[in-house]
């Protein structure tokens, strides 16, 4: 395969700000087809990122019918992730699907089954795994520095950071609010670092306490309460089969001065760690020679990425690692669909528990 020929389905914000700019930096990639239900978006994407002969479509099935496309990136609202991904896999394409995997575990299972049935590659867009502090911490954990991790916090909390564009506030298209949007990242990072994908029980609560506020203060401008049909906050307590526990907090709007968007805290019997979200900082703590210590590694010195000479933003490393895996099976698939499936299961369980008022148990 001289070039990896890619089709983009969904040409909105996540495509224009993450996927297409990152793919455009890879010399072995050609973006040859673009699809969006708004034709002008697909046409503009083809002009900005496509090959000279790139085509655009409003029907994704026309794109999938092409035999000259190797990979499809599914970058649509959450509701469409599952059936488009399944169709793409069955048409013979490898698939990168943006997070979350699906709006519920039933839909995610269809994707997982389709990948196994077709033998095609599937990954989910959890680019935060490629942050320098996350990879450094992973190495520390694999070296045994934290010991057995038995308690963790996954935090995706904003004081006022409600996304007011697109369909983020639409329960029908998104399947939920901050829990499925940003909480999914924090949970994915936590499970990844713990290397624990066996939940036993979940208790959850969701709230709509600020969503109906008129003329609300917000970093992206006031939201329309009539269109705000999802939760504004969600909280879950997760017990794993080995006894470890995880606390998950997710909110777009909360009356707090502790805004921790994408922070994780891990506590083991030999040491602990916490990241500082978007600040790209890692702090390790523990006890040595009868004294407590805190250390902060210099993450700018290099040597924490997956392959020699890798530099760039997490989304660029994600694209690089994904295309490397497509070209060569021996290259690692960092975000495995089976892992993303468990994330979806847990998120769904939090929503279920919040609705029923009862714990949700996993078989």
Topology, domain 4-125: Rossmann fold (3.40.50)
Give the position of tokens 């008129």: 214
Average pLDDT along the chain: 95
Give pLDDT tens digits for 79-118. Answer: 999 999 999 999 999 999 999 999 999 999 999 999 999 9
Residue spans of the domains in the chain: they are: 4-125, 129-312+342-361
pLDDT given at position 301: 58
Decide if pLDDT at 303 tops 60. Answer: no
261-279 burial, b at 16+ Cβ within 10 Å, e below that, comes to bbbbbbbbeebbbbbebee
| Per-residue pLDDT tens over the stretch 128-183 | 999 999 999 999 999 999 999 999 999 999 999 999 999 999 999 999 999 999 99
pLDDT band at 22 (very low <50, low <70, confident <90, very high): very high
Query: What local confidence, expressed as pLDDT, does residue 199 receive?
Result: 98
Judge: domain 129-312+342-361, CATH 3.30.360.10: yes
Residue 309's pLDDT is what? Answer: 41
Q: What is the pTM of this model?
A: 0.95
């Amino acid at each position: 395969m001289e070039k990896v020929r890619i089709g983009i389905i969904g040409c909105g914000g996540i495509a224009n700000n993450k996927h297409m700019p990152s793919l455009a930096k890879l010399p072995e990639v050609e973006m040859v087809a673009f699809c969006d239900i708004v034709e002008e978006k697909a046409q503009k994407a083809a002009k900005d990122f496509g090959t000279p002969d790139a085509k655009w479509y409003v029907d994704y099935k026309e794109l999938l019918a092409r035999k000259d496309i190797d990979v499809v990136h599914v970058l649509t609202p959450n509701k469409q992730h599952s059936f488009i991904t399944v169709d793409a896999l069955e048409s013979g394409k490898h698939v990168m699907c943006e997070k979350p995997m699906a709006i519920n575990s039933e839909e995610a299972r269809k994707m997982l089954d389709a990948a196994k049935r077709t033998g095609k590659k599937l990954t989910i867009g959890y680019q935060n795994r490629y942050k320098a502090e996350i990879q450094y911490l992973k190495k520390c954990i694999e070296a045994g520095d934290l010991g057995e991790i038995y308690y963790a916090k996954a935090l995706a909390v904003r004081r006022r950071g409600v996304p007011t564009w697109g369909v983020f506030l639409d329960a029908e298209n998104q399947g939920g609010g901050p829990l499925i949007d940003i909480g999914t990242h924090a949970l994915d990072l936590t499970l990844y670092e713990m290397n624990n994908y066996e939940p036993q029980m979940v208790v959850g609560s969701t709230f709509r306490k600020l969503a109906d506020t008129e003329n609300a203060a917000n970093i992206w401008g006031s939201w329309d309460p009539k269109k705000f049909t999802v939760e504004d906050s969600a909280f879950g307590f997760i017990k794993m089969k080995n006894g470890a526990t995880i606390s998950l907090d997710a909110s777009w709007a909360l009356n707090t001065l502790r805004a921790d968007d994408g922070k994780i805290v891990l506590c083991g019997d030999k040491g602990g760690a916490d990241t500082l979200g978007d600040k790209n900082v890692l702090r390790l703590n523990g006890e040595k020679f009868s004294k407590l210590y805190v250390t902060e590694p210099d993450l700018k010195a290099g040597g924490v990425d997956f392959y020699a000479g890798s530099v760039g933003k997490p989304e660029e490393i994600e694209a690089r690692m994904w295309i490397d895996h497509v070209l060569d099976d021996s290259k690692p698939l960092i975000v495995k669909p089976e892992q993303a499936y468990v994330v979806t299961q847990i998120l769904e369980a939090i929503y279920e528990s919040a609705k029923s008022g009862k714990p949700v148990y996993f078989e």
